[in-house]
Amino acid sequence: MTQERKTGCARLLSSNFLYGLIRHMNILTLQLGHNASALLVQNGRVTGAISQERFNNIKNSNQFPCDAIDWLLQRAGITYAQLDQVGVCGTMLYPELLSKTHHVRPMYENNKFLYNLYKKMDYAFGQSFLMRLMGRCRRYFLKSVTKRGYNQFVADFKVRGVAPERIKCVDHHLCHAYAPVGFFPKATSDWLVFTADGDGDGTSSTVSTWDGKELKQLAVTSTENSLGYFYGLTTVFMGMKMLEHEYKVMGLAAYAKEEYFKDVYDKIFKDIVRFDEENPLVFKSSFPLTRAMEHLKKHASCCVRFDNLAGALQHFLEVVVLQWVQNAIKETGITQVMTSGGLFMNVKLNKMIRELPEITAVRFMPSCGDETNPFGAAYALCRDAGVELEPVQTLYQGQSYSDDEIEIFLNAHPARDKFSFEKKENIKETIADLLSKRKVVARFAGRAEFGARSLGNRAILAHPADMESFFTVNDQIKVRDFWMPFAPTILDVDAPRYIENPKQADAPYMIDAFDTTEEGRTALRAALHQADKSVRPQILKREANSEYYDLIKAFKEKSKIGAIMNTSFNLHGYPLASNLDQAIFTMQNSDLEYLALESWLVTKKAAA
């Protein structure tokens, strides 16, 4: 063999060897703070993703995700020392984000008097030189605080065997932008990528283009002009929780009539946001939108009905965001759109984006709040390391249990005398039969869903046309506000019967809304919005979840309806029940009668 050929073979072997090493990288990515979560990539594939709330049972927990990390590593059979890279979502690492307990507010808000004084001054003099100077001082202070947090994080992981050079921080909104890029099938043409939320690393929204190779950022809007922050603070003004109850405001908005909320919109919301004259993709506001409470106290403190306020707020959001999207299409000529960030959890807004005549395709990142930022960070780190990350395309990333494990658990449970259980030969047929008889059944099967939505594996199921089942779930199990709708899972073959979808958009993740057909308004009576008759469906293909698909198919044979009502398996104010303890806890603390744990049917005994 010639020397030249030997050298060529050596290069080939070397490149293949290095490629093998790169492919076998273990990459852990973390969302710290709101809805703290962790994700693991092995061999270029996401093998698991889970939030800390699924362990401590605190919804949207901001506790450091130590339990989530431990579960991912144990499931993969690796240790901290075997992690090749650790990615942190965001560049501002506050020390309290490393707390092993759930906390309420950042440490810099602990002095309420000074913080409230600053907010009032910021609202009144937000554009003045004095406030810009104070803002600069505040940012300098926060920079020193977050540096201390980063150093603590590095030290903690070094003790566990992760060298400092393996730790990477990825910008918050870059994580949001890369999340749909890595989640969906690889793009082969140009897409617009929109991100929007309350705040992340001093930014509230971005616009980028993606051609399958390069993400090019076109616009950045600062937190002071944040639509997400404004929507969240208005939620607080209405007596609800920011970062949790915005969906309630959206649901309530549909009950308001435009003839009534229009005056509220004109008085409180109209013209407070405009577009930058030099870049029409950047938001500008007449006052810092982070000071919405002061604005609302001044203009909406009396004589404004809460439903009209909700309707006006939702209308404001839709008007501004739709114009934003149309501006980007006009500027770039690109008609395919991806979205990510908590603002796009608003399914009514997503519906209007999809319906824009200019748009030819949409990809809404599922459960697109901060919890899915680890998906974007994973893509960013894989890209930098030369690893081609497989498109994720599924949210079934959590815990699962075998029938044997469930039997042992049930026999040992301290409340064993409160329920009976029986292993069924065909649990799908059993559930379908109960549903057809208007019974409500919780289903706990396969790997738990990641994120905010039930996709059938941790679900409370009911007959979609039966309003009695609606009230049973709403009043006796979930104990939710009367105006909040449930949602259906619809078989793909039956979707044309029930929803209006002229663009034939995919909707597998409950992140989009649709108008219903006349048949849909009857068949899905209990699973649609009672005011505007729209639905937020999971349109299910068999390859996505064959067991769940076959269950609905069995129900269809009995009821002639190719859909079921599906809501998340949890009590109000709690996260999705992911493990066996949480499943029984939910059953014990509600009027839920039937619980299917894989092949086991658990039935609550009647009270003596």
Cβ pair 418, 605 in contact under 8 A? yes
CA distance 69 to 32: 12
Cβ pair 120, 63 in contact under 8 A? no
CA distance 300 to 604: 48
Cβ pair 396, 508 in contact under 8 A? no
Task: Please give the CATH architecture assigned to the domain spanning 3-117+136-170.
Answer: 2-Layer Sandwich (3.30)
The predicted pLDDT at position 10 comes to 41
The predicted pLDDT at position 130 comes to 61
The predicted pLDDT at position 383 comes to 97
3-class DSSP assignment, residue 295? helix
Q: Could you tell me the end-to-end alpha-carbon distance of the chain, in angstroms, rounded to an integer? A: 88
Q: Which of 351, 306, 361, 383 is nearest to 513 (CA)?
A: 351
CA distance 423 to 456: 20
Pairing of strands 361-364, 336-340: parallel
- What Å distances lie between residue 63 and 42, 57, 88, 97, 101, CA to CA? 25, 11, 15, 7, 5
Summarised one tens digit per residue, pLDDT across range 322-356 is 999 999 999 999 999 999 999 999 999 999 999 99
CA distance 236 to 246: 9
**For the residues of 457-488, what is the DSSP string, one character each?**
SEEEEE-TT-HHHHHIIIIIII---TT---EE
Pairing of strands 514-515, 487-491: unpaired
CA distance 316 to 509: 26
Q: Which residues contact 595 (CB under 8 A, 6 or more apart)?
A: 441, 442, 444, 583, 584, 587, 601, 602, 603, 604
- What Å distances lie between residue 119 and 115, 123, 224, 292, 299, CA to CA? 6, 6, 12, 10, 17
The CATH label, of 1.10.10.10, 3.40.190.10, 3.90.870.20, 3.30.9.80, for the domain at 403-604 is 3.90.870.20
The predicted pLDDT at position 1 comes to 42
Cβ pair 71, 56 in contact under 8 A? no
**pTM metric for this prediction:** 0.93
> What residues of the chain score a pLDDT lower than 70?
1-23, 102-136, 138-140, 608
Q: Across-strand partners of 361?
A: 336
Q: Which of 21, 94, 592 is nearest to 602 (CA)?
A: 592
CA distance 69 to 38: 6
Cβ pair 204, 221 in contact under 8 A? yes
The predicted pLDDT at position 81 comes to 98
Buried (b) or exposed (e) across 143-169, using 16+ Cβ within 10 A?
eebbeebbeebbeebeeeebeeebbbb
Beta strands in 356-412 (DSSP E): 361-364
Q: Which of 34, 15, 43, 18 is nearest to 378 (CA)?
A: 43
Task: DSSP letter for 128, please.
Answer: S
Count the helices and strands in the chain (H runs, E runs). 20, 22
**For the residues of 513-533, what is the DSSP string, one character each?**
-EEBPHHHHHHTGGGS-TTT-
Find where tokens 């509600």 sit.
590
Q: What is the CB neighbour count within 10 angstroms for residue 386? A: 11
Cβ pair 311, 269 in contact under 8 A? no
The predicted pLDDT at position 436 comes to 98
3-class DSSP assignment, residue 542? coil
What tokens were used for 249?
Answer: 């405001």
The predicted pLDDT at position 341 comes to 98
- The side-by-side arrangement of strands in the sheet containing 538-540 is 419-423, 600-604, 594-597, 441-444, 458-462, 563-568, 487-491, 538-540
Rg (CA), the chain: 25
| Per-domain boundaries in the chain | 3-117+136-170, 403-604
The predicted pLDDT at position 455 comes to 98
CA distance 386 to 388: 7
Summarised one tens digit per residue, pLDDT across range 409-448 is 999 999 999 999 999 999 999 999 999 999 999 999 999 9
CA distance 83 to 78: 8
CA distance 473 to 39: 32
